[in-house]
Amino acid sequence: MIEVRNINKTFHVPHEVKALVDVSTKIAPGEVVVVCGPSGSGKSTLLRCLNRLEHADSGHILIDGIDVLDPKTNINKLRAEVGMVFQSFNLFPHKTVLDNITLAQRVVRKRSKSDALEKANMLLKKVGIQDKSGAFPDNLSGGQQQRVAIARALAMDPKVMLFDEPTSALDPEMIGEVLDVMKTLATEGMTMVVVTHEMGFAREVADRVIFMDAGAIVEVGTPEHFFVNPTHERTKLFLSQIL
């Protein structure tokens, strides 16, 4: 489904930082991969490279056989297949919940208004906030906003969902409702790449955990392997700090 081969990314502003160093991995269809690591380890950059929100300097990224970094690739078409959920939700504040979910369906997928609305209502029901369809994002709680954001991404019928620290900006009591939605998605067989600090989620839902540090993948393994007997010192230190 996703193949990452030797990608590198260096930020030059405000000062030179090697965000990704020779990163390679493969993600199979239906797999749920949790990427964790200390802040600044490059996990968000890796995720953002997958749909070219960041442009990797070198290497190859293939999603469903399509070369993400090839300038000839229709990036908009590709992005429609790759859903993304952000830490700060990034809902469109000038549009209602319903309009947030129908906008891209209509302008990108060219769906009719009724089809888009039907899809939106179905997804709102799925994420448990069908009663908020007419509300504006600013009037929703963080947890509700993030669930709308998930519904907005799902409305495009993506093949892959990328989650960039989806619960980091939430009050603790709202984390559960968002994770529940993500768990449901996982059980339905969605391919997911999740950058998160929620180790409970990783342990319970992930097929594989990738641990990154200083822009490189340090350790990859099943949750059992990762949490019970990690091999690298750096991993052990990280786990001892957060568990």
Q: Which amino acid is at 44?
A: S
- Interface mask toward another protein for 65-104; x: CB under 8 A: -----------xxxxxxxxx-x-x-xxxxx--------xx
Q: How far is the CB of 138 from another protein (least distance, A)?
A: 7
Map residue 126 onto helix, strand or coil: helix
Pairing of strands 32-36, 191-195: parallel
- Please state the closest distance from residue 234 (CB atom) to another protein, in A: 30
Token look-up 């504040």 returns 93
Stretch that binds another protein, among 151-159, 175-183, 191-199, 219-227 (CB under 8 A): 151-159
- Which residue, 93 or 189, has its beta carbon nearer to another protein? 93
Interatomic CA distance for residues 194 and 161, integer angstroms: 8
- Between helices 142-154 and 113-126, what is the axis angle to 10°? 130
Is 113 a binding residue for another protein by CB under 8 A? The answer is no
Task: Give the number of residues written for the chain.
Answer: 243
Q: Residue 108 interacts with another protein (CB under 8 A)?
A: yes
Q: How far is 4 from 87, CA to CA, in rounded Å?
A: 23
Q: Judged by CB under 8 A, does residue 153 bind another protein?
A: yes
Q: Which residues bind another protein (CB under 8 A)?
A: 51, 53, 76-84, 86, 88, 90-94, 103-104, 107-108, 136, 138-139, 149, 152-153, 156
